[in-house]
Structure 1
Amino acid sequence: MRTEESIARRFASVGVAARLHVVDVDDGREVGIQPDEPVVLASVFKILLVLEFARQVVAGQLDSAERVLVRAEDRLGGWGMAGCADDVEVSLRDLAYFAMSVSDNTAADLLMRRVGPDTLPLLAAELGLARTRVVGGPRELLASVFADVGARTEAEFAGIFPGLPEERVRALRVFDPEQTTSGTARDMTRLLSLIWRGEAGPEPACAMVQDLMGQQIFWTRIPSGFAPPVRVAVKSGSLPGLHNEAGVAEYPDGRRYAIAIFARAERLDARRIDVDLAMGEAARAAVEALRA
């Protein structure tokens, strides 16, 4: 059985349709399952955001130690500073750290304001990510969800969303690649390959992104398929029913593999450890096929 067929069957066994692309960073050999189909990026887009931040720091346009006061009105839902009861002061580089390590939407929103939202589409075009489009940061995407469900505040949204039928949820713009920040699995592995080869900008900027991606705390998706001494650096992205992750697995022999998986589950459950672990198995199977 071909590797792609085996992986597709594994995903089907947990009720998932997936877009996958795995490529050898240095020689370009690849394994793919519909790698050019448009997908919702969700928080995977933060790789591009932090790369732009790192490039501006290295170019001297931003001071990574610049202080930012995070107030109540800045806080968005999700992990990280959204749970703080008081104002928090952090540096720009700490915003980048929180955005990557725990996918902090508040940190990403503030960082995007500082680097300039118009820079990300320009960066995607410069790097040849032809199918990638950025329509806003976490705040804009959240605003679109509120508007689509008819909520004006977080409290109203919390009261409305749990009662929505599944078809109404899937109809939200945030689930449609044509109406939200989107890309393809191949675009994401191209982005990662450029970063790991030091070709996505100055080498210190690429190294900064690699280091930050290596600090993500979530391990149940792609990293679950690999054991030390393989080093895995990733960035995840999630919405109800969407399980996304992109990253790079580095082997002790120096070979490196860029991996992007975008899994769409039949159910809207946010926590599906079976789906996450299947992503790790798929990543490992694809890499092993390339190493064979």
Structure 2
Amino acid sequence: MIAKPTGRLVALAAVPAAVFLSLGLSGPALAEDGKAYQIDLAQLNNSGSRGTVMLSLKGTQLTVQIESEGMVPGQPSAQHLHGSTNGHDFHCPDASDDTNRDGILSNTEATKDYGDINISLTTSGDTQATSGLAVERMPVADKQGKVSYKRTIPVSQAVVDHIKDLHVVQHGIDPNNNKKYDFEGAGKSELDPKLPQEATAPTNCGMVMGASVGSIPVGGIETGGGSEESAMVPATATAAAAFAASLAAVGAVVISRRRAVAVPVREESTGGAA
């Protein structure tokens, strides 16, 4: 069963310091006009994953801090801010989105609810949507399945204005509990048959409940992105296209580095790369 996630918006000034310390998070020092929010990550795909995200804005600088657990040990976790900066209302998916009833909520099935990638939460380099599966630049879970991430990135004014309409998704599941991504647990990814579904399926999602007041999108879903050097600008690919383009771009790199990022693939020896 896929648990329906919950999330909340919290003014960090009102949160006791003990809360941050227990999570390993620190309340950011904000400018007078700064804003900060807390998002709870709740499991998808019965992954057991959960976590907390702190988003803080200081002008057009966004600091993202994530502490999550229940991830696949030693595996990279693709993670993103999803949603729209154009007034559309997206949200985290639930079990009803598993439209083919195979027991796995795929990224394609979930995208209609949580929207396209707006910002790729990489550890270095650009944060464009097209870096959505640049696994060599995504955080890797430790031996206990915990991910700690913190990065400050420049964002556009549209992101600043609509930060409450964005939400966090982490990817990577292990339904057969063998502590790696393979084809045995959930078959091939719908994004690229050279990839295991385990590497691309969402493991958790968190949103600012009640904050999105835009309209339900009609037709295509907007995608945003950004870079380390400049403010983020809208991209044109849909979520599936962005994922697929990213897969094609980083596939050879990930295969050559799979020992370093610990992404073993049993059945396919060529192509593909979280």
- TM-score above 0.5, yes or no: no
Choose 1 or 2 for highest CA Rg. Answer: 1
| Structure richer in helix, relative to its length | 1
What's the TM-score, normalizing by structure 1? 0.27
